[in-house]
């Protein structure tokens, strides 16, 4: 229970991509705690299990994941009143229109495609990091249980 609060959650099964993302996030000497989850089932366990009270500043979510795919994870997070206000950025190699449309309809905060070239990928992650850790202001508390009712 004395675990440090998690700031960044990365859901990524590709070890090379995960390594690159982690490296860029750590590069700037910030003290953010990062958690890497390797498939959709681990992500659901994290959010709906032991760490349900964590409120990370951003979740970077791949779409093509083993066990439970990223769209399903997104859907579950955004359908949950306590989780829906956590910013979720889909970071994927898929530029398929249907994936992009689905992600927005389920309430993704942002959708970014992985550039193919290493350097451009690193730049994109650096921009993501700057935006979601420094510019965006997260809600400090979990979502309100009255959210659904209020939005009607």
Binding site for other proteins (CB under 8 A): 81, 84-85, 87, 95, 97, 100-101, 104-105, 107, 109-113, 124, 127-128, 130-131, 135-141, 143-144, 147, 150-151
> If you ran DSSP here, which 8-state letter would residue 148 be given?
H
CB of 78 to other proteins, least distance (A): 8
- 94, burial (CB in 10 Å: exposed 0-12, middle 13-18, buried 19+): middle
Phi, psi of 62 (to 5 degrees): -75, 160
CB of 41 to other proteins, least distance (A): 26
CB of 54 to other proteins, least distance (A): 16
10 vs 86, which CB is nearer to other proteins?
A: 86
Q: Looking up tokens 């550039």, which residue turns up?
A: 115
Distance from the first to the final alpha carbon of the chain: 37
């Amino acid at each position: 229970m004395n675990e440090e609060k998690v700031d960044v959650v990365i859901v990524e099964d590709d070890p090379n991509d995960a390594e690159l993302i982690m490296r860029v996030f750590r590069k700037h000497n910030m003290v953010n705690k990062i958690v890497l989850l390797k498939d959709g089932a681990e992500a659901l366990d994290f959010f709906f299990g032991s760490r349900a009270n964590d409120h990370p500043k951003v979740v970077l979510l791949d779409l093509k994941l083993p066990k439970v795919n990223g769209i399903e994870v997104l859907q579950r997070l955004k359908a949950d009143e306590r989780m829906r206000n956590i910013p979720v950025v889909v970071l994927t190699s898929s530029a398929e229109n249907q994936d992009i449309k689905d992600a927005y309809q389920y309430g993704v905060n942002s959708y970014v495609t992985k550039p193919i070239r290493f350097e451009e990928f690193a730049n994109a992650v650096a921009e993501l990091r700057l935006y979601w850790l420094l510019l965006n202001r997260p809600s400090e508390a979990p979502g309100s249980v009255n959210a659904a009712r209020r939005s009607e």
